[in-house]
Amino acid sequence: MAVIRDVMPAFQLFQPNSIAEAQRLLEQHGQDAWVMAGGLDSFDWLKDRIKRPKALVDLSGIEELRGVRTTADGIEIGAMTTLTEVVGNPIIQQKYGLLAQAAELVASPQIRNQGTLGGNVSQDARCWYYRAGWPCYRAGGNICYADTPVGRNREHAILHAERCVAVNPSDSAPALIALDAKFVMQTPKGERVVDAEDYFIGPEIDITRMNILQPGYLLTAIRIPSAWAGAQFYFEKVRDRNVWDFPLLNVASAMMLSGDTIQGIRIAVNAAAARPLRLKAVEDAVRGKQRTATTGELAGKLAVQGAIPLQFNAYKVPLMRNLVKRAISGVEEATWAS
């Protein structure tokens, strides 16, 4: 692991109090700017002196970016809304409980008090070779230290690895994909709204980024439509330390049932690849079927098709299979398979 050096490198600190001002600063400083939300990802990078931005734009003073608002078609959550606020919001609890469940399982209460929803979905990879400042692919180099016969890759990707095998560590991201959320960004060309699954990109597209944010871009809000409000939700996160850890894998699903028949479903997993994966093949396969252990079994098998485990993470294949199975058929119906 990196040696914590504690003293951050010098940078210009900007603390705008409006989206417009933040946007102007980001455009002005371009690639030299670093956007800081709750600071939980940023301070690791800065204190380790691995990232050395010239300008840091602290979003904590922008009230417009905070809070949960109801809209004509659902809700809009400001990107700087803390995870604790998301968990405690009555509308989210009542209608979009999946997000509340996911946010409540992020790290520790202290971190949820400081961490924001926008920061949670936009955080960088946690691969320790990358975080230690080694010149890997994701850092702009030409090697993946984790994807070698002796690399420590227990937490890494089993799907869609492309040179880099780091995974996306967000818990809220798969929940937002399952809820069909839209991410709202301010860009130099104006507002841009994308589907939650399109916000994330894998290494095959850009190996140095985990999302589509570019210099000058600012994630301002996340909109959740009412289409899946009150659906049958399932969220499960598996981690090494249940009190405080990143996911080894998590799964989120939103299901519309008619009796025992699955009328509609959205399901996503994270920490299996460098981006949260919406399992469209699984959705298509189980739609119209009875919600049974057999259907869950089928979904689990389908979900892990194409998985290529690394030296130390083969356990993730049966883990993902079982999590998807449980997300479809429920914990009571699912039986563990190795």
Partner 1 sequence: MGFIEWATSPLGQNVPIHIAWFLIWVALIAGMLFLIVHVIYIRYFAGAKEFAADASPEIAARLPARVPRHSLVARAFHWIMAASMFTLLFTAFLPKAGVQFDWVTYHWIAGVVLTVSVVFHIFHASFFLDFWSIWPDKADLEDAWKRVQRFLGKPAGLPRKFAKYPLENKLYHGAIIVTGMSAILTGVFMMSRVRTPFFRRNPYLFTDMTWGLMYVLHGLAGVGLITLVIVHVYFAVRPEKLPITASMIVGSMSREFYLQEHDPKRWVVETLPNPRRGVADAD
Site residues for partner 1 per CB under 8 A:
134-135, 139-145, 147-148, 161-163, 201, 204-206, 308
Q: Report the alpha-carbon angle 300-275-94, nearest 5.
A: 70
Amino acid in the structure at residue 306: G
Residue 149 Cβ vs partner 1, minimum distance, rounded to whole Å: 8
Residue 39 Cβ vs partner 1, minimum distance, rounded to whole Å: 26
Residue closer to partner 1 (CB basis): 144 or 252: 144
Residue 145 Cβ vs partner 1, minimum distance, rounded to whole Å: 7
Residue closer to partner 1 (CB basis): 67 or 151: 151
Residue closer to partner 1 (CB basis): 212 or 218: 212
Residue 274 Cβ vs partner 1, minimum distance, rounded to whole Å: 12
Enter the tokens of residue 128: 């320790």
Enter the tokens of residue 103: 């946010």
- Burial grade of 313 (CB within 10 A; 0-12, 13-18, 19 or more): buried
- CA 120 → CA 112, 116, 149, 161, 258, distances in Å? 10, 6, 31, 22, 34
Residue closer to partner 1 (CB basis): 147 or 283: 147
Q: Which residues neighbour 284 within 8 Å (Cβ) at sequence distance 6 or greater?
A: none
Residue 135 Cβ vs partner 1, minimum distance, rounded to whole Å: 3
Strands 277-278 and 190-195: unpaired
Give the Cα separation of 266 and 180 in Å (integer): 8
Residue closer to partner 1 (CB basis): 149 or 190: 149
Residue 140 Cβ vs partner 1, minimum distance, rounded to whole Å: 7
Residue 220 Cβ vs partner 1, minimum distance, rounded to whole Å: 23
- CA 330 → CA 39, 111, 267, distances in Å? 36, 30, 13
Q: Which residues neighbour 300 within 8 Å (Cβ) at sequence distance 6 or greater?
A: 320, 321, 322, 323, 324, 325, 328, 337
Residue closer to partner 1 (CB basis): 183 or 228: 183
Residue indicated by tokens 């079994």 = 297
Residue 249 sits at φ, ψ, to 5 deg, of -165, 150
Residue closer to partner 1 (CB basis): 145 or 235: 145
